[in-house]
């Protein structure tokens, strides 16, 4: 599986009427080999994607100061 991180949500949020100008980035990361424990795999996948997404968002917020402030994270459950 090839993890992918992107920052399109900064410019066009889910259910958002407003769109903000800027350049969207898509980053393809190193593949994760299949097999092994499912929970371990999903944890590794989530960690890589969330970590890279956080980097992308920080880079874009520095480059495009007009982007809206981040919303607090919502816990599942």
pTM for the model stands at 0.77
| Cα 6 from Cα 28, distance rounded (Å) | 9
Q: Sign of the C-alpha dihedral, residues 49, 24, 67, 71? A: negative
| Cα 63 from Cα 74, distance rounded (Å) | 26
pLDDT at 73 over 70: no
Q: Dump pLDDT digits (tens) for 11-70.
A: 988 888 889 999 999 999 999 988 889 999 999 999 999 999 999 999 999 999 988 887
23, 56 Cβ separation under 8 angstroms:
no
């Amino acid at each position: 599986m090839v993890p992918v991180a992107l920052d399109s949500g900064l410019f066009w949020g889910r259910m958002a009427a407003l769109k903000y100008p800027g350049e969207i980035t898509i980053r393809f990361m190193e593949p994760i080999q299949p097999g092994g424990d499912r929970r371990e795999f999903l944890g590794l996948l989530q960690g890589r994607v969330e970590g890279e997404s956080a980097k992308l968002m920080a880079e874009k917020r520095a480059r495009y100061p007009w982007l809206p402030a981040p919303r607090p994270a919502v816990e599942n459950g």
